[in-house]
Amino acid sequence: MMRIAVLVSGGGTNLQAILESERRGENPNGKVTLVVASKPSVYALERAANFGVETAVVRRRDYASGEDFDAALLGVLKDHGIDLVVLAGFLSVLGPSVIAAYPNRILNVHPSLIPSFCGPGYYGLKVHEEALRRGVKVTGATVHFVNEVCDGGPILLQKAVEVLPGDTPEALQKRVMEQAEWKLLPQAIAMVCNGEA
């Protein structure tokens, strides 16, 4: 049974999808045992509590350097015996020491079809704003392994989502979450836990 930590920075809708998938028995070889938030006030912590999952808060601003933050985060993960790390809307970039500690054991979901609209500066609504600005007809989401290159690790799963006439960034973001992110992330986690990835 792989022990999973989900790292969050906001409302935790992807976390909710992961926990509901787990509750339905869709990941028999893994269990979310820890949710780590980048700030104490995020709603994702409440979602975790509703599922009886232990939580921790590790804020980058509480540490003098990125290395210190990474060391603190690693300490929390190691203390909880974490096997797999899942970035579900986590807005801090992980440093080399964290990535080295979990080779091919860190997953990220990105709200576009990588290599489109990814890399430094592309997160949240910015991704969807750029997709609409460029006039693409199809966007989607990608789950990939994390390496030292921002959004550059090997791709595990992708799902396309149609861009509709009159879409706003907010409407497109919601559709990408509902049709792609919330399906792909639990599926990718189960694949890793089952040894299929």
Of 80, 110, 128, 144, which one is the catalytic site residue?
110
For the chain, the residue count is 197
Contacts of 88 (CB under 8 A, 6+ apart): 6, 7, 8, 12, 14, 15, 18, 44, 109, 185
Retrieve residue 68's tokens.
């210190």
User: What is the rounded CA–CA span in Å between residue 35 and residue 37?
Assistant: 7
- E-strand stretches of the chain: 2-8, 30-37, 54-57, 84-87, 106-110, 138-145, 155-162
128 catalytic per annotation: no
Q: Among all residues, which ones are annotated catalytic?
A: 110
